[in-house]
C-alpha cells in the first residue's frame, strides 16, 4: 500500500522563490520579506512589483509599473456587455471567474511568449480584475459604469468604482494594507490550482479562472463571506457562547478559524484585527469585533485553533461598507498578483503536475454484462 497524504498534507510539490509560510512559527515571507515588514510600509503596487521581479522597486520602477497598471484598466466592450447583461443575482465571484475567462478570448496568452509579454498579461489581469468586480456590482444595481480613472491607486480605484466617490485616505490605506496581506501565500489551494493548469502549458487566463474557482470555496477564500453570515446569524455578543457550542456539537466548521499550515496565529490576522477594531469602533458598531473576539477565544481554548486571514478581514470590509458578496472577489483582486507570479514562475521551469492515486475500487477483472442483464 502506498502512503496516501490526504489533501497532500506535508507534500512539497515544487520550489518557489515567491512566498514562504512558516506554519509552526506563524511567519509569512514574500520573497524574503517578513509580512510585518511589508504591511503598512509598502503599497500593494510595490508588492506586485516584488512578486513579479523578486525585489522591491525604486521610485522610477514603481512609477513605471503604476502607469502600466493604470493604462490597462479599460475592459474590452464584450466583457462590459457581459457584465451589464449577466443575471443580477449571480454571485460576483462567479461573474469574475467568467469575465476573466472571457478576457482570454480578447488577448493571446501562451507559455512560450517572451517573459515580458507574459508579464504584460499578468499586469493586465491585476489591473482589470477589480474593474470587473466593481462594474458588475454597479450594473446589478442598475447604476452607470463610470469611465476608469488613471489618477487613483489600485485600492482607491476599486472603492471609487463601487461607490462612485473617491474614498477617504483612511479607507484607501485600509484596503491597500488588506491587498498587501492577501497577495501571496505559497501553495495554497487556489495558487496550486493555477500552477497545475499552467503546468499543462495551458494559458494564463485558464489558470487564473481555475484559481478563482478554487478560491471561491468556503474552506478557502470563501470563508471571509462565511464569517459575516455567521456573525449576522449569531446576532449579538451574549449569544456567541451558545451558538459556538451548538455548532461544534453539530461538527460544523467555524468560518475564519483554523489553517492547514499555521499551527499558531496566522501573522496576517493581527494586522486585520487592529484595523477591524478601529473601524468598527469608529462606526459605533463594536459588537462585530466583540463577537469575533469571543469566537476566537472559545476556539483557541476549546480546539487549539486560531483565527486565519479571513476572520478579521470580514469585519474590515464590512466596516468599509462593502457588500458581503464582494469579500471573496476582493481576496481574488489582491491574490491576482500572487497567482500570476506563480504562473510565470511555473513556466520558467515547468514540469507537468501529475500525482498518483491509490486505487481502492472494485476488484480488478470486472466483466461487462450485456445491458439488459445488468
Ligand atoms: C485563506 C484561507 O484559505 S484560510 C482558511 C479559510 N477557511 C476557513 O476558515 C474554513 C474553516 N476552517 C477549516 O475548515 C479548516 O481549518 C481548514 C480547511 C482551513 C484547514 O483544514 P485541515 O488542515 O484540512 O483540517 P481539518 O478540516 O482536517 O480539521 C482537523 C480537525 O480540526 C477541526 N477543525 C478545523 N477547523 C475547524 C473550524 N474552523 N471549526 C471547527 N472545527 C475545525 C476539524 O473538525 C477536525 O476535527 P476532528 O479531528 O475532531 O475531526
Ligand atoms: O495557505 C492556505 O492554505 C490558505 C491561505 O491562508 C491563503 O491562501 O492565504
Rounded to an integer, the average pLDDT of 204-228 is 98
Our mutation pick for probing the ligand 1 site, out of 253, 299, 335, 338, counting the most ligand atoms within 8 A of Cβ, is 253
pLDDT band at 2 (very low <50, low <70, confident <90, very high): confident
- Which pLDDT value is given to residue 367? 97
Rounded to an integer, the average pLDDT of 340-356 is 98
Burial class (CB in 10 A: 0-12, 13-18, 19+), 91: middle
Q: Give the pTM.
A: 0.97
Rounded to an integer, the average pLDDT of 197-203 is 98
Residue labelled with grid coordinates 497532500: 8
Q: Which residues approach ligand 1 with their CB closer than 6 A?
A: 7, 219-221, 223, 253-260, 303, 305, 308-310
Rounded to an integer, the average pLDDT of 76-81 is 98
Q: Which atom number of ligand 2 is nearest to the Cα of residue 308? A: 6
* Residue 354: pLDDT over 90: yes
Q: How far apart are CA 19 and CA 123, in angstroms?
A: 19
Catalytic residue numbers, as ranges? 259, 310
Q: How far is CA 373 from the centre of its chain?
A: 51
Going along the chain from its start, the domains and CATH numbers come out as 17-219+326-348 (1.10.580.10), 223-319 (1.10.230.10)
pLDDT tens digits, one per residue of 90-133: 999 999 999 999 999 999 999 999 999 999 999 999 999 999 99
* Residue 226: pLDDT over 90: yes
Cβ 300 under 6 angstroms from ligand 2: no
- Which pLDDT value is given to residue 102? 98
* Nearest C-alpha neighbor of 183 from the set 18, 295, 303: 18
Q: Which atom number of ligand 1 is nearest to the Cα of residue 227? A: 9
What is the residue-averaged pLDDT of the chain?
97
Neighbouring C-alpha atoms within 13 Å toward the C-beta of 110: 4
Cβ 188 under 6 angstroms from ligand 2: yes
Q: What percentage of the chain reaches a pLDDT higher than 70?
A: 100
Q: Which is it for strands 33-34 and 27-30: parallel, antiparallel or unpaired?
A: antiparallel
Rounded to an integer, the average pLDDT of 123-144 is 98
* Residue 1: pLDDT over 80: no
Q: Which atom number of ligand 1 is nearest to the Cα of residue 252? A: 41
**Is-contact 103 318, C-beta < 8 A?**
no
The strand order across the sheet containing 33-34 reads 19-22, 27-30, 33-34
Rounded to an integer, the average pLDDT of 179-193 is 98
- Which pLDDT value is given to residue 72? 98
Q: Is the dihedral of CA 241, 242, 243, 247 positive or negative?
A: positive
Write the residue with the smallest CA distance to atom 6 of ligand 1: 220
CA 129 to ligand 1 centroid distance, Å: 29
Write the residue with the smallest CA distance to atom 8 of ligand 2: 188
Q: What percentage of the chain reaches a pLDDT higher than 90?
A: 98
Contacts of 208 by beta carbon, 8 Å cutoff, 6+ apart: 100, 125, 194, 336, 339, 340, 343
Burial class (CB in 10 A: 0-12, 13-18, 19+), 95: buried
pLDDT tens digits, one per residue of 244-273: 999 999 999 999 999 999 999 999 999 999
Cβ 260 under 6 angstroms from ligand 2: yes
Amino acid at each position: 500500500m502506498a502512503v496516501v497524504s490526504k489533501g497532500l498534507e506535508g507534500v512539497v510539490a515544487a520550489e518557489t522563490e515567491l512566498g514562504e509560510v512558516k506554519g509552526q512559527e506563524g511567519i509569512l515571507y514574500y520573497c524574503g520579506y517578513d509580512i510585518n515588514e511589508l504591511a503598512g510600509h509598502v503599497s500593494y503596487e510595490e508588492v506586485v512589483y516584488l512578486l513579479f521581479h523578486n525585489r522591491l522597486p525604486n521610485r522610477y520602477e514603481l512609477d513605471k509599473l503604476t502607469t502600466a497598471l493604470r493604462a490597462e484598466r479599460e475592459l474590452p466592450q464584450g466583457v462590459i456587455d457581459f457584465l451589464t447583461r449577466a443575471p443580477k443575482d449571480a454571485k460576483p465571484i462567479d461573474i469574475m471567474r467568467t469575465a476573466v475567462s472571457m478576457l482570454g478570448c480578447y488577448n493571446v496568452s501562451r507559455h512560450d511568449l517572451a517573459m515580458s509579454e507574459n508579464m504584460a498579461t499578468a499586469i493586465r489581469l491585476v489591473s482589470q480584475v477589480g474593474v470587473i468586480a466593481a462594474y458588475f456590482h454597479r450594473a446589478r444595481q442598475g447604476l452607470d459604469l463610470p469611465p476608469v480613472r488613471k489618477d487613483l491607486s489600485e485600492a482607491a480605484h476599486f472603492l471609487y468604482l463601487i461607490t462612485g466617490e473617491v474614498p477617504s485616505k483612511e479607507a484607501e490605506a485600509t484596503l491597500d494594507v488588506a491587498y498587501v496581506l492577501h497577495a501571496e501565500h505559497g501553495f495554497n489551494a487556489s495558487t496550486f490550482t493555477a500552477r497545475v493548469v499552467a503546468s499543462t502549458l495551458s494559458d494564463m487566463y485558464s489558470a487564473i479562472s481555475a484559481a478563482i474557482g478554487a478560491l471561491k470555496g468556503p474552506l478557502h477564500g470563501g470563508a471571509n463571506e462565511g464569517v459575516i453570515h455567521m456573525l449576522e446569524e449569531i446576532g449579538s455578543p451574549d449569544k456567541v457562547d451558545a451558538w459556538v457550542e451548538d455548532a461544534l456539537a453539530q461538527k460544523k466548521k467555524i468560518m475564519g478559524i483554523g489553517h492547514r499550515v499555521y499551527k499558531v496565529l496566522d501573522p496576517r490576522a493581527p494586522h486585520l484585527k487592529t484595523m477591524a477594531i478601529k473601524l468598527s469602533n469608529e462606526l459605533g458598531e463594536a459588537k462585530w469585533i466583540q463577537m469575533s473576539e469571543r469566537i476566537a477565544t472559545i476556539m483557541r481554548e476549546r480546539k487549539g485553533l486560531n483565527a486565519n486571514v479571513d476572520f478579521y478581514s470580514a469585519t474590515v470590509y464590512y466596516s468599509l461598507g462593502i457588500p458581503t458578496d464582494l469579500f471573496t472577489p476582493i481576496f481574488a483582486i489582491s491574490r491576482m498578483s500572487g497567482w500570476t507570479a506563480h504562473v510565470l514562475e511555473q513556466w520558467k521551469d515547468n514540469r507537468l503536475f501529475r500525482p498518483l492515486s491509490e486505487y481502492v475500487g472494485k476488484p480488478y477483472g470486472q466483466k461487462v454484462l450485456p445491458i439488459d442483464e445488468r
